[in-house]
Amino acid sequence: MPTISKKSTAMPASAIRKFVPLADAAKAAGTKVYHLNVGAPDIKSPKCALDAVVKKCGELDHISYTNSAGLMELRQGLVEKYYRKIGINIEVPEILIQVAGSEAFAVAMQLTCDEGDEIIVFEPFYTNYNTFAYLYGITLKAVHTDIHQDFALPPVEEMEKLVTPRTKAVLISNPSNPSGTLYSRKDLESIGELCRKHDLFLISDEVYREYCFTDEPHFSAINLPGLEQNVILVDSVSKRYNLCGARIGCVISHNKEVMAAAMKYAQSRLCPPVLGQYASIGALDTPQEYFDETVKEYIKRRDCAVDMLNAMPGVYAPRPKGAFYTIAELPVDNAESFVKWMLSEFRLDGATTMVTPVSSFYKTPGEGLNQVRIAYVLEVPELEKAMKILAAGLLAYPGRTL
Amino acid sequence: MPTISKKSTAMPASAIRKFVPLADAAKAAGTKVYHLNVGAPDIKSPKCALDAVVKKCGELDHISYTNSAGLMELRQGLVEKYYRKIGINIEVPEILIQVAGSEAFAVAMQLTCDEGDEIIVFEPFYTNYNTFAYLYGITLKAVHTDIHQDFALPPVEEMEKLVTPRTKAVLISNPSNPSGTLYSRKDLESIGELCRKHDLFLISDEVYREYCFTDEPHFSAINLPGLEQNVILVDSVSKRYNLCGARIGCVISHNKEVMAAAMKYAQSRLCPPVLGQYASIGALDTPQEYFDETVKEYIKRRDCAVDMLNAMPGVYAPRPKGAFYTIAELPVDNAESFVKWMLSEFRLDGATTMVTPVSSFYKTPGEGLNQVRIAYVLEVPELEKAMKILAAGLLAYPGRTL
């Protein structure tokens, strides 16, 4: 009997999705599960996006390949109708459509690093960065940020300590998944300084750009002066417009060498999903009010979640300024055991709540063991119910440390 | 200025898509280009597939993620409405939806091989096998097959000579892209014998299964007795139903370890494109007549292409039994130069023909230098025009060897 590769055997399972079987079992047994574990919002997609797909499928008689870089109409539309409007000035050859943000950052990592090379990240960081780093033999070096300091960046000298001759890039998610931290222009400038000094790429994952809860606008890394050749922007169309399943993202850079190489990766998988590209073209006509409404809604949810969390004895959760996540520190021995216990043992009126343990979002061993990520992707009344269950669960949990 | 990874710099450009800029330039200058270079058929998608998307987009208010393994309705539908009907008996846990055949074989290669491991292929083979082998550090060892023997497999002893301690899998495309060769049950049995004897995986890429031009039905590797733990089937829903842009395929195996590891890769990219999954669910209701008509149409086109090719002085093209490609040997010094010359220099009544040089489909240096792949994806009248241009081009080409 043949054996699978060592790489595949040792590959870590998704920290976010690995408890799905427990949730499925709970549901099969009749339990209602409140999902605060995945960033899968319940917000409606813009109607213009779905209408565009309906129209195209009515007109076309077959769905053929597109150019590997994506449909020109979509690339041009993004440049003119979206990026220009928000002050990101790029030309069509500087944008390439990807199979969602996932492909975009996976390609960016490969574009910058050979096996054995290193990328500086800020922990806690999106756990799939880890997965792809593992697959490509890249080492992630984590700058630690602390929940009790609102995950603020340390001074540039602290970050610089991680730079070695193998360091090729800095990878930041802004606003951050999983912490919701929004990095300021000043933060970006200090990271930019590091990249300029050491000739590093700056991979900026901005898929949550439209979900910022402050008055100052989001500052994109691509607008850092003097870093035109360093910055690779990772973006998601499907995340922005609540079309997560459409799987459309993009990679953007002023660096010609980066874009030429990105095209080779793009050609190897032929083309991005075409129906999702049609939805994305339609989504470009989304009115500003859509985002305004969405942000207003998320602020309500964030405040609901954060207020209720901090009212629970022994729980601490910062009030994030972006994305739709917050990290909470819980009075538990081990967040992973707690999550499992909630799914398999704890019920309140026939329901339970699912959250994500975040220890695997940290690189430093032992960090985040009592923390969970909460995606506030439910409407307030549902979110309240989910939080009440979490509160009750914390009181009943045998591994409670308070 | 930062520099991109060595891996990205050295990565080969797509052999199929690298001449696209020349074709674009020709078109921009007003030249009509007959595309026989990509396997992008002009056959209509089944109406039920497009209707299903229209219906879903009318009903839904947002496009969310699906399970990483794909929608249960699609997996179950494929098992019951498609595979069972064609004599492939699998259960739902044995099928996982992928981002087209491209992701399916890329994952299968990683599932079976670590860096430095080897896969046996049959040259000429699909050039993107090379690209992914390159990215994963896998060595392809090619069993040579000859155009003048209709690309028939050599005896098993010949193949066995390529087996080393690092060999982990055999990868076959049946029917073959690029040669259109259809492998018989006997062929598969001899490959299966090799895999059993040396504990190798057999990755069987059957994306062209419904395009067979013989009376005997296609024999799937997954039905090889005693090889249940060895075979990994790579399939494409979007290719089968002329929905190439939908980007939906699957990986199938009875081997539980393979499927569990495939799920980890699937989770790393969250989920397959959802709109394409809807199209695929709709496509499951495609009547058998659709395939009968399509096959009839391809036989006409194949005969047109092959007859016209063999009527050109110095040209030889076998009559393939499957897929929608044939390889032709041309009286030219170098097929790549010829293809470039056709695109940039040769015009007949303001038109030219684009085909794909196949030397990069061979692993053995020097093989296939005067061969091209012709995808007969145009209707007969158009195909005839394209062939006339090719014939005239061959007579005028300065590097003609006849």
Tens digits of residue pLDDT in A22-45: 999 999 999 999 999 988 888 999
**Whether B13 and A264 lie within 8 Å, measured CB to CB:** yes
Residue B14 pLDDT level (bands cut at 50, 70, 90) = confident
The three-state secondary structure class of B349 is: coil
Output the pLDDT for position B145.
Answer: 97
- Is the pLDDT score of B137 beyond 80? yes
In angstroms, the separation between the Cα of residue B58 and the nearest Cα of chain A is 7
Chain B interface test: which of A57, A171, A207 (most B C-beta within 10 Å): A57
Taking only the tens place, the pLDDT of each residue in A344-388 is 999 999 999 999 999 999 999 999 999 999 999 999 999 999 999
Counted across chains A and B, CB pairs separated by less than 8 A come out at: 255
In angstroms, the separation between the Cα of residue B310 and the nearest Cα of chain A is 30
Kindly list the residues from chain B whose CB atom is less than 8 angstroms away from the CB atom of residue A268. 14, 102, 128, 131-132, 135
For residues B252 and B228, is the Cβ–Cβ distance under 8 A? no
Pick the residue from chain A with its C-alpha nearest to B106. A269
Compare CB distances from A261 to B11, B99, B245 and report the shortest one's residue: B11
- Is the pLDDT score of B17 beyond 80? no
Residue B32 CA, distance from chain mean position = 26
Output the pLDDT for position A156.
Answer: 94
Output the pLDDT for position B39.
Answer: 81
Indicate the average pLDDT of chain B.
Answer: 96
Kindly list the residues from chain B whose CB atom is less than 8 angstroms away from the CB atom of residue A135. 110, 268
In angstroms, the separation between the Cα of residue A239 and the nearest Cα of chain B is 9
Taking only the tens place, the pLDDT of each residue in B41-51 is 889 999 999 99
Output the pLDDT for position B79.
Answer: 98
In angstroms, the separation between the Cα of residue A275 and the nearest Cα of chain B is 6
**Whether A245 and B8 lie within 8 Å, measured CB to CB:** no
User: Token digits for A205?
Assistant: 């994952």
ipTM exceeding the 0.90 mark: yes
Kindly list the residues from chain A whose CB atom is less than 8 angstroms away from the CB atom of residue B51. 57
Taking only the tens place, the pLDDT of each residue in B355-396 is 999 999 999 999 999 999 999 999 999 999 999 999 999 999
Output the pLDDT for position A260.
Answer: 97
- Average pLDDT estimate for A252-265: 98
Taking only the tens place, the pLDDT of each residue in B292-346 is 999 999 999 999 999 999 999 999 999 999 999 999 999 999 999 999 999 999 9
Whole-number Å distance between alpha carbons of A225 and A235: 20
In order of B250, B261, B265, B397, the CA distances from A9 in angstroms are 20, 7, 11, 54
Chain A interface test: which of B62, B127, B238, B378 (most A C-beta within 10 Å): B62
Taking only the tens place, the pLDDT of each residue in A296-319 is 999 999 999 999 999 999 999 999
Taking only the tens place, the pLDDT of each residue in A92-130 is 999 999 999 999 999 999 999 999 999 999 999 999 999
Place of tokens 């459309």: A248
- Average pLDDT estimate for B148-157: 96
For residues A221 and A329, is the Cβ–Cβ distance under 8 A? no
**Whether A238 and B63 lie within 8 Å, measured CB to CB:** yes
Taking only the tens place, the pLDDT of each residue in B4-13 is 999 999 998 8
**Whether A271 and B135 lie within 8 Å, measured CB to CB:** no
Output the pLDDT for position A304.
Answer: 98
Whole-number Å distance between alpha carbons of B402 and B315: 10
In order of A277, A315, A354, A370, B37, the CA distances from A401 in angstroms are 49, 11, 20, 10, 66
**Whether A63 and B8 lie within 8 Å, measured CB to CB:** no
**Whether B245 and A112 lie within 8 Å, measured CB to CB:** no
Flag whether the pTM goes above 0.90. yes
Pick the residue from chain A with its C-alpha nearest to B270. A102
Compare CB distances from B61 to A45, A168, A238 and report the shortest one's residue: A45
Compare CB distances from B244 to A45, A65, A229 and report the shortest one's residue: A65
Output the pLDDT for position A40.
Answer: 81
Place of tokens 């790429």: A201
Compare CB distances from B53 to A44, A53, A106 and report the shortest one's residue: A53
Compare CB distances from A13 to B58, B246, B264 and report the shortest one's residue: B264
DSSP states of B63-109: -----TT--HHHHHHIIIIIITTTT----GGGEEEESHHHHHHHHHH
Output the pLDDT for position B127.
Answer: 92
Pick the residue from chain A with its C-alpha nearest to B230. A2
Output the pLDDT for position A14.
Answer: 82
Place of tokens 């993009």: A250
In angstroms, the separation between the Cα of residue A54 and the nearest Cα of chain B is 5
Residue A66 pLDDT level (bands cut at 50, 70, 90) = very high
Beta bridge partners, B122, equal B143
Residue B73 pLDDT level (bands cut at 50, 70, 90) = very high
- Is the pLDDT score of B94 beyond 80? yes
